[in-house]
Structure 1
Amino acid sequence: MTQVTMTVNGKSVSGEVEGRTLLSAFLREGLVLTGTHVGCDTAQCGACVVHVDGRAVKSCNVFAADLEGAKVTTIEGMANADGSLSAIQKAFQDHHGLQCGFCTPGMVMSAAALLAENPKPSEAEIRHYLEGNICRCTGYHNIVKAVLAASGQDAGRMAAE
């Protein structure tokens, strides 16, 4: 067992983990932050995306013990300080960028990372950036609209599918 200490959603946390404990398991089971979903355990679906030191990372593909001192943000940490939805979360709600909601935390986290890198992405850039996130319900159209809206662009300019 290894002791690991990191900052998660702005709070210092620590715990004992086995060397093989994935970040997704540490977050969900150790810290009871269940917004990070695990869909595949093979880094294929993107449902488990979190931010580690500001970068989007698939948490089912990273060992918790390797993140000593890291700053991790999960979907629970995306809300505004007053508990209201962030601009990205609100855009997903307003533009129906979710159906069952299973992929939504990973999509929101990936979208936030994209907008941090590129505040005004094109539709093609959004689709390319989200290629590592799988949604089985929405067909992506409304997800792309939500990201455009969160970036302050006119989501209504997208052609209907």
Structure 2
Amino acid sequence: MPQYSITVNGEDVEVDVPADMPLLWVMRDELRITGPKYGCGVGVCRACTCLMDDEEVQTCVVKAADADGTEVTTIEGLADGDEPHPVQQAWMDQDVAQCGFCQPGQIMAAVALINDKGDEVTDADIDGIENVCRCGTYGRIRAAIKQAAQA
């Protein structure tokens, strides 16, 4: 099998996996990183959202070969030691999570949006986030993103 080098949450790792193995399974099965979740497997629900080279990606549809040489950030890589990332803090302050399954992907999508728009995030920008939350906490998600954008 081919070997791929990826920087995940600041750590350089090498994985020996099939070229077409989804990055989600590389992280969950090979690296034991469980923040990104499997939901649909086709990039629609976005429970697996992470950042790859600072861009939002759905890791269930990114192949291991395409991740070679990239830098991937998962929910586990956001906090600065014991200090949560501003988006994580906003999620707690706004009491967003219910079941929590979609929250890693939701948070990573919010981080990508704020990285792109800064404190200029609009309701239309937030509406453009297509992550699915079956609990329906969209109002609290919106409030948390706005709070984090101002942080």
For the superposition of Structure 1 and Structure 2, which TM-score range results when normalised by the shorter chain? Answer: over 0.9
The Cα offsets for residues 107-140 of structure 1, whole Å up to 9 and x where unpaired, read as: 1000000001101211222122x12x00010340
Count of equivalent residues: 150
Aligned residue in 1 for 2:67: 67
Shift in Å at residue 150 of structure 1? Answer: 0.3
Which structure would you say has the larger Rg? 1
Deviations 1:16-59 (A, max 9, x none): 01122100000001100001111111111010001111100000
2:82 and 2:23 map into 1 onto residues whose CA distance is 25
- Provide the TM-score with structure 2 as the length reference: 0.95
Query: Matched residue of 2:135: which SS?
Result: coil
Deviation at 1:99, TM superposition (A): 0.8
Amino acid at match of 1:5: S
C-alpha separation in 2, matches of 1:25 and 1:138 = 27
How much is the aligned-residue C-alpha RMSD, in angstroms? 1.1
Q: In structure 1, what is the Cα distance between the partners aligned to 2:106 and 2:67?
A: 22
- Structure 1 residue runs of 5 or longer lacking an equivalent are 154-161
* Matched residue, 2:114: 115
- 1:32 is aligned to 32
Tell me how far apart the structure 2 counterparts of residues 103 and 148 of structure 1 sit (CA, whole Å). Answer: 19
5 Å-filtered alignment, 1:1-161, equals: 1-80=1-80, 82-120=81-119, 121-128=121-128, 130-131=129-130, 133-152=131-150
Identical residues among aligned pairs (%): 39
Q: State the Cα distance separating 1:15 from its structure 2 match.
A: 1.1
Provide the rounded CA distance (Å) in 1 between the counterparts of 2:133 and 2:141: 9
**1:152 deviation in Å?**
1.2
TM-score (norm 1): 0.90
Where in structure 1 do 4 or more consecutive aligned residues deviate above 4 Å?
A: none
1:97 Cα deviation (Å)?
Answer: 1.7
Asked whether the equivalents of residues 6 and 14 of structure 2 are also in contact (C-alpha less than 8 Å), the reply is: yes
Gaps of 5+ in 2: none
* Deviation at residue 79 of structure 1 after TM alignment: 0.8
**DSSP 3-state at the match of 2:88:** helix
